[in-house]
Structure 1
Amino acid sequence: MTSPPTEAELIDGCLRGRQLAQKLLYEKYAGKMMAVCMRYAQTTFEAEDVLQEGFLTVFRTLANFRRECPLEFWIRRIMVNAALRQHRRNASLVAVSDGDYPETLASEEFTLSNYNFQELLEMVQELAPRYRMVFNLYAIEGYTHKEIGELLGVTEGTSKSQYSRARVILQTKLERLGTPTRHVS
C-alpha cells in the first residue's frame, strides 16, 4: 500500500496534466470548499455551481500558485472569489427586503458558537444576498470592512452597516426560535 501523495506531488501532477492528480486534489479539498460555498449560496445547487467554477479556476491558474501558503488557503480564496462573482451575476435578480427586523442590535451581543452548524448555515443562507456576503466575508473569512467595500464595490460604511443588519437579523431569528441570547463577535 502506497502513501497518499504530498501536496507538492499533487500540484506537480496537476501541472503536468495528470488526471489522477487532479482527481485526488479535488477529492482532498472538495468537501471543505463545499462548506465554504454553502455559506455564500442560498441553495445547494448554487453552491455546487460555485464549487465547480472555483475548481475550474484552480486547475486553470495552478501554475500561478507560488507555494508561499498552504494550498488549501489559496483554494479557499478562489472559492470566495467565485462566490463573489456568482453574487455579482445574480445581484440584480434579487430584491432586498428587510421585513420586520429591528433596526439596531440590542446592547447585549450574541454568539453563534454554541449552535448547530446546519441550523446556523440555514439562517445565514436566508439572509439577503448582500448581507450574507458581508457577514461571511467579515465574520468568517476575516476581511476588513475596507476590503469588503473594495470587493463588493460599496463604501466601508455600507459594509459595516450591512454586517450590523445581518447580525440583527440573525439575532432576531435566534430569539424567534426561543434561543437565549449569548455573547459573540
Structure 2
Amino acid sequence: MLRLIPFFTTEAKLIGALKRGESRAHKVIYERYAGKMLAVCTRYCANRADAEEVMLDGFMKVFEKIEQFREDGSFEGWIRRIMVTESLMFLRKAKQWRQEVSLDEVIVEPDYEWADTAVNENDLLRMVNQMPDGYRTVFNLYAIEGYSHAEIAEMLGISEGTSKSQLSRARLLLQTNLKKLEQETRSEPYEKAYRKAAS
C-alpha cells in the first residue's frame, strides 16, 4: 500500500510538486507506480534486466515531460503510454520486433472451441513472455493496450497486414501452448494414479 508523504494529500498536489521539480515527488511517483510499470515493460522486454532499464528510462521521460501531462486525463494511463513507447523504442533499436515477420504467409484464424479451459494467469503471462518478440509486441499492443492494427503499423513502421499476421500467429501459438497445458493438466491425475498403483 502506498504511504504518501503527508503534504501530497491528493494526486493533483503530487503532480504539482512534480512539475515544480521536487525530488520528494519523484520518489513518491516512483514508489507508487514502479511495480505496475515494470509489469508493463516486462510484457515487451522478456529479459527482466532490459525491462528494468526501460522502466527507469520511462520514469526519466515522465519527469522530463511532466509539463505535457493534461490533468483532465488519467495520470497512470499517461505514464503507461510512456512506458509502452519506451519499450517499443528499445525493441526498435535492438530490431527484435522485426523478427518472425513475413508478408507472404496466409493469415489463419485459430479455433477458439478450447477457450473455456481455465488457465492460471501466471501460466498465461509466461506463455506470452515466451513468444518471439514480434508476436509478443503486436499481441500486447492489440490485445492488452487496445491499439488498432493501423495504430500498431504506424508505431512499428510495418504494414497493417504484417500487424494482423503477427497477431494471428501469436494467437495460434498461444492456442497451441494452452492446449498442451490443458492436456498435461488433465493427464496428471491419471499419472499419479498409475504411479501409486505401480508402487
1:54 aligns to what? 58
Give me the TM-score of the superposition, normalised by structure 2. 0.79
Separation of aligned partners in 1, 2:177 and 2:166: 16
Alpha-carbon distance in structure 2 between the residues aligned to 1:132 and 1:80: 13
Corresponding position: 1:163 with 2:167: yes
For residues 77-134 of structure 1, give each alpha carbon's deviation from its aligned partner in whole angstroms, at most 9, with x where no partner exists. 0000011001101115985499xxxx84443355499432222222111111111110
- Counterparts of residues 1-185 of structure 1 (less than 5 Å): 2=6, 5-91=9-95, 96=100, 104-108=108-112, 111=115, 114-178=118-182
Q: What is the count of residue pairs matched by the alignment? A: 176
How many percent identity over aligned positions? Answer: 45
Kindly provide the CA deviation profile for residues 13-54 of structure 1, in whole angstroms up to 9, marking residues without a partner as x.
111121111100111111111111111111111110111111
Gaps of 5+ in 1: 181-185
Kindly provide the amino acid, as one letter, of the partner of residue 58 in structure 2. G
Q: CA RMSD in A?
A: 2.6
Q: C-alpha separation between the residues in 1 aligned to 2:64 and 2:134? A: 28
Following the alignment from structure 1 to structure 2, what is the Cα–Cα distance between the partners of residues 92 and 28? Answer: 30
TM-score for both structures, normalised by structure 1? 0.85
Larger radius of gyration between Structure 1 and Structure 2: 2
Greater RCO, 1 or 2 (C-alpha within 8 Å, sep 6+): 1
